[in-house]
Structure 1
Amino acid sequence: MLAAQANEDPLTGLPNRRRLDDELDRLLALARRYGRPLSVALVDIDHFKRVNDELGHQVGDRALIEVVTRLSALLRQGDLLGRWGGEEFLLLAPYAKHDAALDLAERCREGIARTPFPGVGHLTVSFGVATLTGDDDARSILRRADLALYTAKREGRDRVVGMPGLTDAGELDSSPERNGR
């Protein structure tokens, strides 16, 4: 029971940030050891503060749970979705090359936007996707995913933006790939 409390988000039942950190470290080590691809996506519910402020936290909690249900139904076996904080989630996608991760994120984005949420109406999500390259560690791959998510938000939300990796000079590639609307 204590292990579950330490590693599980009480509202959604998803892995919490502590467990996600551990899983990301484990998946990074496996990806490096066996030369396998690994992608991560930060997912944020667009304008979620408005749901809580206008409809109340109980409705917001139900909407969070429904988002998790919809996302979980669209993931591949072996993918791991966890609650990163508030209305933000982290998706760990082992064996997913960058294009496959973008496709997965787009499928999830569409799955959220397609059908209204009970008591809320339409919700959308934004995705920031990054794929393991070079000398990435957990911090650098998450930084790229965060930058991609920030770009998706800045460009209008309800979209997938991918940050493929590092340039030859080792600098952050400043030309994110855009998907979605």
Structure 2
Amino acid sequence: MYFDSLTGALNREGLRDGLLNKWRYRGPHSDLMAVVFIDLDHFKRVNDTHGHATGDEVLRAFAMSVQRAIRTTDKLVRWGGEEFLIVCLGTSGTEAHGLAEKLRAAMPNQIWPCGQQMTASFGVTALQPGEDIGEAIKRADSALYGAKANGRNCVLSA
């Protein structure tokens, strides 16, 4: 099973399988890859205030909005809980930062199942030549924690 049953995004096994097969991406800049790490801000508050069923609806709505906004070559992965990754094939760090900023800016305009405004924090990085994707994910995760420490609802690149 390669997909998260709640959100329809890839799960970690789907990510691993896709990376092993390199998703057969042969487009422009096939040597480039970027990672966007996303965490929904104050998500625990949604579950505590509105219940886990509403929290699940928020996660589904978020995943659907991201899927609509990314290219077919980009892969959305539910990392766990309210954390997601976007693996952007053929994409530079600058381009991935722009995508993350676009997603961040669109969130307040969306109607959320909990009836409150939702925001997210984003950490972005580009895979370096010869680097293992795990290292890039760690770097994006570190940038994400920096974004959260910076007050949330922002994008930081590493």
TM-score normalised to structure 2 length: 0.90
Is residue 84 of structure 1 aligned with residue 53 of structure 2?
no
- 5+ long unaligned stretches in structure 2: none
Give me the whole-angstrom Cα distance separating, in 1, the residues matched to 2:51 and 2:3: 24
**Relative to 1, partners in 2 of residues 1:82 and 1:88: Cα closer, same or farther, differing over 3 Å?**
same
1:159 lines up with 2:142 in the alignment: no
In our comparison, the structure showing a higher alpha carbon Rg is 1
Number of aligned residues:
156
Give the distance between the partners of 1:30 and 1:115, measured in 2 at CA: 31
Q: Secondary structure at the match of 1:127?
A: strand
Q: What letter is aligned with 2:118?
A: L
Q: Partner amino acid for 2:131? A: D
* 1:21-170 correspondence runs (5 A): 21-27=16-22, 36-163=31-158
Let me know the Cα RMSD of the aligned residues. Answer: 2.0
Per-residue Cα deviation, 1:130-170 (whole angstroms, up to 9, x for no partner): 1011331022111111111010011011011111xxxxxxx
* Distance in 1 (alpha carbons) for counterparts of 2:148 and 2:20: 27
Cα deviations by residue, 1:31-76 (Å, 9 ceiling, x for unpaired)? 9xx8621001111100001100111001101111111111111112
Percent identical among aligned pairs is 38
Residue deviations 1:98-139, cap 9 Å, x none?
111100111111122223413331000111111011331022
For residues 80 and 52 of structure 1, do their structure 2 counterparts lie closer, same or farther at Cα, with a shift above 3 Å needed? same
The normalised TM-score by structure 1 is 0.79
User: Does the aligned pair in 2 maintain the 1:43–1:90 contact within 8 Å?
Assistant: yes
